[in-house]
Structure formats: C-alpha cells, structure tokens
Chain A
Amino acid sequence: GESVGLHLPTLSVQEGDNSIINCAYSNSASDYFIWYKQESGKGPQFIIDIRSNMDKRQGQRVTVLLNKTVKHLSLQIAATQPGDSAVYFCAEKWGAQKLVFGQGTRLTINP
C-alpha cells in the first residue's frame, strides 16, 4: 500500500552539528521526491526536491540523497541552527500530482 516511512520519529542534535533524517518509500515507480519542514502552527515549507534520475542534490546547507535500489531517501542539514527545529516530512509523488507523505521526524536542536 501507500507508505512513506521514517526510521526515527525524533532526532536531537547539538547546535552546529550535522543532522541526517532518513526516509523509506514504497513506490518504486515514484519519479519525484520532496522534503518539507513544518514549524508549529505553519504549513509545510519546501526545502529541497529530487527526481529519480538523480542520486544527490544540494541546496543551501541541505543535501538530499536518493538510493533507488533500497528505496531510501535522506535529508542532510549541515551546521544545524536553532531555527532548524521543526518536523521534517519526506514525500513521494504518486501518479499525476498526488504526494504521499511520511509521518514526519521532529528535529530538536540543543544549544
């Protein structure tokens, strides 16, 4: 069935350290994946996306890695800051424009 899961529901890191958030997806036919950040009381905010013809994509302080062999996606955040504290969701595109979301990982940054 549809499922995009996350290995860890919570992640706590020290300010300045790198964070890695993992995600397993289920649909081997998905050709597009996306990460969102959601802060309390707000809607999901786009972070970075990647197509299935790529295995890595970098943004500002963020990198997404895609391993299609094991259907695994990860989000790396470099030098985490207090403002990075939020819930992070991965999602895969099913069919035309339907996104199937994971349950989310809560990232907490310790000072």
Chain B
Amino acid sequence: KAGVTQTPRYLIKTRGQQVTLSCSPISGHRSVSWYQQTPGQGLQFLFEYFSETQRNKGNFPGRFSGRQFSNSRSEMNVSTLELGDSALYLCASRGTGSETQYFGPGTRLLVL
C-alpha cells in the first residue's frame, strides 16, 4: 500500500504571499491531520479532518486553514505568510477504528 504523499516537497515564498499544500492519505484512510514542525516549537498539531469535516483544531491563527475532499485528499492553506511560518508541514493519515497516525515526508516551506 502506498504511504502518505505530500506535494510539493519544497517551497519558497515571500512574506505576504499565500501557499497551498497538498496531502494524499493512505488508501482507505479517511482521517487526515496536519502538523507543523520547527526547531523551536517541535511538532505542533494544526487540525484534523474526517469525511470532509474539521473535527479538531490546534492553537494556530486563522491564517492557517484546511479542507478535505470527498476522496480524503486534504489541502492546507496559509495566507499572508510570515517569516515564522517557515517550517516542515507534515500530514498524517489514520484508518477508521485505528489510533495510529502515519506521516508523510512533509513539505518544507521557507518564507523569505
């Protein structure tokens, strides 16, 4: 079974721009969660989607948003980028009835 895939793998943006990241979960997984990883703050939960509905949200500003499509693929969007948004953005998927989240390789975002 293919793992979680994320695109793009690397991205460079400038302050004020917006960015959209994509995540395709493991086939059959309907839950997708997003995390931000930085050297200073570590891994922090952004939000979780299940069947196109956001079920849980972390403590991030409204500039961070996401959505999930009927095929369980998910996107997250960051608007009005700030330098501090530079991070590795990780997506994880989980099968129904399972607690285990499987992570993708991440998208490394650099904001200049």
Enumerate chain A interface residues (CB-CB to B < 8 A). 32, 34, 36, 41-46, 49, 51, 89, 91, 93, 95-104
Q: A49-B99, A49-B100 are in contact. Are A98 and B58 (CB under 8 A)?
A: yes
Enumerate chain B interface residues (CB-CB to A < 8 A). 4, 31, 33, 35, 42-45, 48, 50, 55-56, 58, 90, 94, 99-106
Residues of chain B contacted by A34 (CB below 8 angstroms): 99-101
What are the 8 A-B residue pairs with the smallest beta carbon separation, nearest first?
A: A43-B103, A101-B43, A44-B103, A98-B45, A43-B105, A32-B99, A43-B106, A103-B42
A91 to B43, CA, bound (A): 10
Residues of chain B contacted by A44 (CB below 8 angstroms): 43, 90, 103
Residues of chain B contacted by A45 (CB below 8 angstroms): 103
Q: What would 10 A/B residue contacts be, using CB atoms closer than 8 Å?
A: A36-B103, A41-B105, A46-B101, A93-B99, A97-B31, A97-B55, A97-B56, A97-B94, A98-B56, A101-B35
A45 to B101, CA, bound (A): 9
Give the secondary structure class of A's interface.
Answer: strand
Q: A43-B90, A43-B105, A44-B103 are in contact. Are A96 and B56 (CB under 8 A)?
A: yes
Cβ contact within 8 Å between B48 and A42: no
Residues of chain A contacted by B103 (CB below 8 angstroms): 36, 43-46
Residues of chain A contacted by B31 (CB below 8 angstroms): 97
Minimum C-beta distance from A21 to chain B (A): 15
Cβ-defined partner of B104 (8 Å) among A41, A43, A89? A43
Cβ contact within 8 Å between A46 and B102: yes
Looking across the interface, which residue of chain A has its beta carbon closest to that of B45?
A98
Residues of chain A contacted by B42 (CB below 8 angstroms): 101-104
A98 to B45, CA, bound (A): 7
Looking across the interface, which residue of chain B has its beta carbon closest to that of A34?
B100
Cβ contact within 8 Å between B56 and A95: yes
Residues of chain A contacted by B33 (CB below 8 angstroms): 97-99
Residue picked from B35, B56, B58, B99, most chain A C-beta under 10 Å:
B99
Residues of chain B contacted by A98 (CB below 8 angstroms): 33, 45, 48, 56, 58
